[in-house]
Structure 1
Amino acid sequence: MVDLGFLLSWFPYIFLPFFIFIFFCNTNKPLSSSTSILPKSYPLIGSSFALLANIERHNQWAAEVLNVCPTNTYVIRYLGVCNVTTAYPENVKHILKSHFSNYPKGGELRNILSDFLGNGIFNADGDSWKFQRQISSHEFNSTSLRKFIEEVVKIEIFHRLIPVLSVTAETNSELDLQDILQRFAFDNICKISFGYDPSYLSPSLAKTEFAVAFEDATRIVSERIGHINHLVWKTKRFLNVGSEKRLKQATATIRESARKIVRQKKHELKEKSSLETTDLLSRFVKDEDLDEDFVIDIVISFILAGQDTTSAALTWFFWLVSCNPEVEKEILKEINQTAEETSYDDVKDMVYLQASLCESMRLYPPVPFDTKEAANDDIFPDGTIIKKGMRVSFSIYAMGRMENLWGLDCNEFKPERWLKRENVTGKLSFMGKDSYVYPVFQAGPRICLGKEMAFLQMKMVVVEVLRRYQVLPAASGNVFAPVFVSYLTSKMKGGFPVKIEKRTTQFSY
Structure 2
Amino acid sequence: MDLGRQAHFAALDTLGEITLGRPLGFVENNADQGDFLKINDAMLPILITISNYSPVFKLTRIWPLKYLLPRVGDDVGLGAVLSFTQSSIDERLRPHAKQNKDMLQVLINNGLSREQLLAEVTLQFLAGSDTTANTIALTLFHLLTSPGTYQKLQDEVDAVSTHGANAILPDSVAKNLPYLQACIREALRVQAPLASGPFHKAVPVGGDTVCGKYLPRGTRVSTNGAVYAIGRAEAYWGADAKVFRPERWLEADAVTKQRMWDMVDLMWGGGAFMCPGKVIGVMEAGKAVAEVVRRFDISLVNPNDPAQFRSAMAWMIHGFWVRVEKRKDETVEEKMHL
TM-score by length of 2: 0.80
Does structure 2 retain, via aligned residues, the 8 Å contact 1:354–1:455?
no
Given that 2:81 and 2:122 are in contact with CA atoms closer than 8 Å, whether structure 1 keeps it comes out as no
Give 3-state SS (helix, strand or coil) of 1:437's partner.
helix
Conservation of the 8 A alpha-carbon contact between 1:362 and 1:400 = yes
Tell me the equivalent position of 2:242: 411
* 5+ long unaligned stretches in structure 2: none
Match of 2:156 in 1: 334
CA contact (8 A) 2:200 2:220 kept: yes
Q: Structure 2: how far apart are the matches of 1:345 and 1:417?
A: 23
Counterparts of 1:390 and 1:332, CA distance in 2: 46
From 274, 279, 287, the equivalent of 1:460 is 287
- Aligned-residue CA RMSD in angstroms? 3.4
Secondary structure (helix, strand or coil) at the match of 2:193 reads: coil
Which aligned pairs between 1:396-475 and structure 2 lie closer than 5 A? 396-420=227-251, 431-434=257-260, 436-438=262-264, 439-475=266-302
Answering whether residue 104 of structure 2 is matched by residue 278 of structure 1, we say no
Deviation of 1:319 (Å):
1.6
**1:192–1:279: 8 Å Cα contact kept in structure 2?**
yes
Structure 2 counterpart of 1:296: 118
Please say if residues 418 and 432 of structure 1, whose CA atoms lie closer than 8 Å, have aligned partners that are also in contact.
no
* 3-state SS of paired residue (1:208): helix
Alignment of 1:221-300 (within 5 A): 221-226=47-52, 231=56, 248=68, 250=70, 253=74, 254-255=78-79, 257-272=81-96, 275-276=98-99, 278-286=101-109, 290=113, 292=115, 294-300=116-122
Shift of 1:184: 0.4
- In the other structure, the counterpart of 2:313 is 488
Summarize the Cα distance change of 1:408–1:237 in structure 2 as closer, same or farther, 3 Å threshold.
farther
- 2-side partners of 1:358 and 1:311: how far apart? 15
Picking from 309, 321, 327, the partner of 1:497 is 321
Distance 2:32 2:269 in 1: 34
- Give the letter for the 1:398 counterpart: A
Amino acid at match of 1:265: I
Alignment partner of 1:187 is 2:13: yes
| Paired residue secondary structure (1:271) | coil
Partner of 2:304: 479
Aligned CA distance change for structure 1 residues 501 and 209 (closer, same or farther; 3 Å): closer
Provide the C-alpha distance between the structure 2 equivalents of 1:192 and 1:301, rounded to a whole number of angstroms: 13
Mapped to 2, the partners of 1:278 and 1:236 lie a distance apart of 39
SS in 2 for 1:368: coil
CA distance in 2, matches of 1:436, 1:201: 35
**For the residues of structure 2 that align with 1:284 and 1:375, how far apart are their CA atoms?**
34
CA distance in 2, matches of 1:183, 1:432: 33
For 2:299 and 2:103, locate their aligned partners in 1 and report how far apart those are by CA, in whole Å.
Answer: 37
Aligned to 2:205: 376
2:220 corresponding residue in structure 1: 391
Match of 1:264, SS state, is: helix
Deviation at 1:399, TM superposition (A): 0.9
The structure-2 alpha-carbon separation of the partners of 1:455 and 1:319, relative to structure 1 and needing over 3 Å to count, comes to same
Q: Deviation of residue 206 (structure 1)? A: 4.6
Describe the superposition over 1:192-246 as per-residue Cα deviations: whole angstroms up to 9, x where unpaired. 123242121124425424454444433431232356x965x97799677xxx79x
| CA 360–408 in structure 1, closer or farther in 2 if over 3 Å, else same | same
User: Displacement, 1:368?
Assistant: 2.0
Maintained 8 Å contact 1:467/1:507: no
TM-score (norm 1): 0.55
- Say which SS state the counterpart of residue 275 (structure 2) adopts: coil
Equivalent residue letter for 1:334: E
Q: Which amino acid aligns with 2:159?
A: Q
Aligned letter for 2:68? Answer: K
The CA deviation at 1:301 is: 1.9
SS at match of 2:221: strand
Q: Quick one: which of 145, 150, 172 aligns to 1:345?
A: 172
Distance 2:181 2:307 in 1: 23
The percentage of counterpart residues that share the same residue type is 22
> Relative to 1, partners in 2 of residues 1:185 and 1:204: Cα closer, same or farther, differing over 3 Å?
closer
Question: Cα distance 1:305–1:435, how it changes in 2: closer, same or farther (>3 A)?
Answer: farther
Runs of 4+ residues over 6 Å off in structure 1: 233-240
Q: Distance in 2 between matches of 1:495 and 1:268?
A: 40
The alpha carbon displacement at 1:351 in A equals: 0.9
Counterpart in the other structure of 2:186: 359
The one-letter amino acid paired with 2:194 is V
